Amino acid sequence: MDPLITAALEAREHAHAPFSHFKVGAALEAFDGRIITGCNIENATLGLSLCAERVAVFKALSEGVRHFRRVVVVTADTETLTPPCGACRQILWEFCGDAELTMANLAGKAETLSLGQIFPRPFDSSFL
Ligand code: THU
């Protein structure tokens, strides 16, 4: 299996999802080969919950990792693969650009697209 999918699957095990019971794992591959992972972390207010993708991006940035070539998101064991939510698409776009995005299920079924394909006409710093 793709080691980035394996990393996302392992991160998913750490998900804190007592409210939705929907566990998500994400893994970023930096251009220097480093892999940074994240899981979703829910909270009793619900609104303060964070998605796995944003946890991974913010972890990476805080560790000085800034340039990514691939993103993997692993969610449920469903045939239909789950794409990142709108908020995560924005953050992924701003920090990963038109990187390769792989969505995978627990069995390893995967589909790869570019971020630009799922997030057309993005708002970013070029408009500021
Ligand atoms: N979730 C993610 O971690 N990533 C997404 O892109 C979609 C949603 C999480 C947030 C929440 O903890 C749970 O999945 C249900 O929405």
State the pTM of this model: 0.97
pLDDT tens-digit series, residues 39-89: 999 999 999 999 999 999 999 999 999 999 999 999 988 889 999 999 999
The per-residue pLDDT for range 18-43, each reduced to its tens digit, is 999 999 999 999 999 999 999 999 99
Tell me the domain boundaries of the chain.
3-120
Q: How far is CA 39 from CA 17, 25, 126, 127, in A?
A: 9, 5, 30, 31
* Active-site residue (options: 53, 63, 94, 100): 53
Does the CB atom of residue 8 touch ligand 1 within 6 A?
Answer: no
Give me ligand 1 centre to Cα 126, in Å.
28
Does the CB atom of residue 87 touch ligand 1 within 6 A? no
pLDDT of residue 76: 86
CATH superfamily of 3-120: Cytidine Deaminase, domain 2 (3.40.140.10)
Phi, psi dihedral angles at 96 (to 5 degrees): -115, -10
Inter-residue contact 90 to 76 (CB < 8 Å): no
Question: Ligand 1 centroid vs 3 CA: distance in angstroms?
Answer: 22
Q: How many CB atoms lie within 10 A of CB 107?
A: 10
| Residue 119: DSSP 8-state | S
Nearest to 101 by CA among 88, 123, 61, 80: 88
Q: Whose alpha carbon is nearest atom 13 of ligand 1?
A: 22
Residues 21 and 75: their CA atoms lie apart, in Å, by 11
Residue 77: the pLDDT is 82
Active site (annotated) includes residue 111:
no
DSSP label at residue 106: T
Q: Is 90 in the pocket of ligand 1 (CB under 6 A)?
A: no
